[in-house]
Structure 1
Amino acid sequence: MFLLVFTGTFVLALVPILAMSLLSKRKNQFPVTGRTVILTGASQGMGRGVAKLLAQKGANVAIVARDLKKLDAALEYIRQAAASSPSQRFIRISADLTKYEENIRVIEEVTKWNGGQPPDIVWAIAGTSIPKLFLDADIKTLRDQMDINYWAGAFMAQASLKAWFGPYIDSYSAPPPDPKAAAKSKEKPPPRHVILTSSSAAFVGVTGYGIYSPPKAALRSLCDNVQSELNLYHGAFASRPSSTLIPQVKIHTVFPGNISSPGHAAEDLIKHPVTFALEKDDPMQSEDEVAAAAVAGLERGDYLIMTNWLGHLMRWGTMSGSPRNGWGLLDTVMSWIVNVAWLFIGPDMERTVWKWGKANGIYGKDGRKG
């Protein structure tokens, strides 16, 4: 039932998707050639895939993770895939991003390495899932999941925004007497980007992800709130004579699904059997596929970015007050359709878990947690 309803909904979406794609051909909203990008969690998995793709597109890439051995291997892998540009540069930095001061250090090191200029794009990908039942999780695991899956992204986002806006905030007092006197320029610098990486699990409660999904859902809420706040800064700075020197900042959240990676393989070793049952029909993507889908969404200028068809359907079912992608018409119509579909999908998921428990007990017929 789960896959059938989602598949039917996806088919219904094909016509408006094709129509909107033909009507909304726009220039690349995410140029990276010659720009400096920080990627956290980039020693393996999705992060490594994104680093490779952006290097191929001509970006200067700084990869960040904890494990130096993995970072060195990833850096060489990225160099080999890079565009043939003599000016292209790469660096790796070992850091524990669950500590706020480490995020500040990363921004400062990259700024120094980048000739005194802060990075143009910061993409927080670092994260890990420990798929356990909520009642089985000890306090340390609960805190660790929040630290790496929420705070590491939130800290990096704030550190980046402070580096970008700080000099202008420090010199800002009040709007000039005549706002019309503010200098205007035909050529403004390209936007800077903060990109947070959540998960499609943030949209739907699934047995086994009770300690992973909440921090990922919190990242979406953070993005919505920061998106709103950015309008305050952009509006205030627009009235200053120096407004043409201040790049606009855009924030996005990416919601990948299952990725074939060392991290996912480790998850499968401890995942509850009923979690396998719930996601058995979910699509699986390679690190290159998820990277390509995420970057394509950024190039379209999307705000909430899905990497597969299932993610789109899950997002449409929980749009609430988040800004819509593109014109917003497709998002609105699909949210109506998917919310109707959830009348069937939600109960079916709950019945799957109930039936599994009835047939197997809590942990399976052998009674072990796993």
Structure 2
Amino acid sequence: MDLQLHARTVLITGAGSGIGRATARLLAQEGARVALLDRDRAALDATADVVRASTGSAQETVRVVADVTDEEQVRAAVSAAVAALGGLDHVVCCAGVSGPVGSPIEDTDLADWNAVLAVNVTGPFLVLKHALPALRLAVDASVVLLASDSASVASPGMAPYCASKAALVQFGRALAVDLAGAGIRVNSVAPSIVDTPMSRGDLGESALDEPAFPVQTAHEVAAHVAYLLSPHSRAVNGTTLISDFGYTARSGFPA
């Protein structure tokens, strides 16, 4: 199916690895023009190489280095991306951190709590705050936020992460309502465990090699993102696509 993303312009945060990199690659293969944002310049360069190799294009990929928790950096990065792309049709917020894993709340430092909320919630707020003027000028603009099934279910010792992803989902829902008259759709994707460097860092480098639980790839999540950006999903707004192999649909009834 043609997702009708050819020549559309997309800003992707957290593009240096994982879901962000997979999304950049897939959207570029669909013909979109992408701007990659990450705080790690070397990671951005690696993603640009992946995008170039997968599309066979010699066209230079737009790269902007910024920490999504720093408003001045975000302002400058978004402005540079819009200028380089000649406008902005879509934003995908993939930048995220897991924070403390396996830590009870009484052992969680305030600095760690604040760091998770800063990246996972304040980051998308700042990016969209400064991207909205350009999105308002676009036709059929859309935004996708990368949340997690942890917005709905919880794992022990991950209270900061779970709280941040629940906040991100509700932020997206509220923003969809605020922008309903502007023709800008906002949706979230909430995957369960995805095989990414961050997941392997949390669970152990070999934990996802032969897991006893279902694991999805970053490319599979990127496909959900691409659909939600596409005009094929024009009736989908203010909602969350949960991709968790049906886990949250299960009843606790012992039968």
Normalization by structure 2: what TM-score?
0.85
Mapped to 1, the partners of 2:229 and 2:27 lie a distance apart of: 12
1:296 shift after superposition: 3.6
1:252 shift after superposition: 0.9
Tell me which residue corresponds to 2:43.
Answer: 70
| Residues 133-183 of structure 1: per-residue CA shift (max 9 Å, x gap) | 222211111110111111111211222224434x8xxxxxxxxxxxxxxxx
Tell me which residue corresponds to 1:202.
Answer: 151
Is the aligned partner of 1:154 residue 2:125? yes
Q: Which has the higher strand share?
A: 2
The answer to whether the 8 Å contact 1:297/1:306 transfers is no
Matches within 5 A, 1:1-370: 31-82=4-55, 90-115=61-86, 118-130=87-99, 131-133=101-103, 134-165=105-136, 190-231=139-180, 233-234=181-182, 248-269=183-204, 281-299=212-230, 300-301=232-233, 302=236, 303-310=239-246, 313-314=247-248, 338=250, 341-343=251-253
1:226 shift after superposition: 1.2
Cα distance change of structure 1 residues 57 and 99 upon mapping to structure 2, 3 Å threshold:
same
Letter in 2 for 1:102: Q
Mapped to 2, the partners of 1:343 and 1:162 lie a distance apart of: 49
The answer to whether the 8 Å contact 1:192/1:250 transfers is yes
Cα distance change of structure 1 residues 53 and 59 upon mapping to structure 2, 3 Å threshold:
same
Mapped to 1, the partners of 2:26 and 2:195 lie a distance apart of: 17
- After TM superposition, the structure 1 stretch with the greater mean CA deviation from structure 2, 122-131 or 281-290, is 281-290
1:193 shift after superposition: 0.9
Identity over the aligned pairs, expressed in percent? Answer: 26
1:77 shift after superposition: 0.9
RMSD: 2.6
Cα distance change of structure 1 residues 297 and 161 upon mapping to structure 2, 3 Å threshold:
closer
1:112 shift after superposition: 1.4
The answer to whether the 8 Å contact 2:82/2:134 transfers is no
Normalization by structure 1: what TM-score?
0.60
The answer to whether the 8 Å contact 1:49/1:288 transfers is yes
1:114 shift after superposition: 2.1
Letter in 1 for 2:89: D
Unpaired segments of 5 or more residues in structure 1? 1-26, 168-188, 235-247, 271-275, 317-337, 346-370
Secondary structure of the residue aligned to 1:309 is coil
The answer to whether the 8 Å contact 1:259/1:285 transfers is yes
Mapped to 1, the partners of 2:214 and 2:68 lie a distance apart of: 30
Cα distance change of structure 1 residues 102 and 49 upon mapping to structure 2, 3 Å threshold:
same
1:70 shift after superposition: 1.2
1:344 shift after superposition: 5.3
Mapped to 2, the partners of 1:51 and 1:228 lie a distance apart of: 27
Unpaired segments of 5 or more residues in structure 2? none
The answer to whether the 8 Å contact 1:60/1:89 transfers is no
Mapped to 2, the partners of 1:289 and 1:89 lie a distance apart of: 26
Number of paired residues?
244
Mapped to 2, the partners of 1:297 and 1:249 lie a distance apart of: 12
Cα distance change of structure 1 residues 94 and 83 upon mapping to structure 2, 3 Å threshold:
same
The answer to whether the 8 Å contact 1:132/1:210 transfers is no
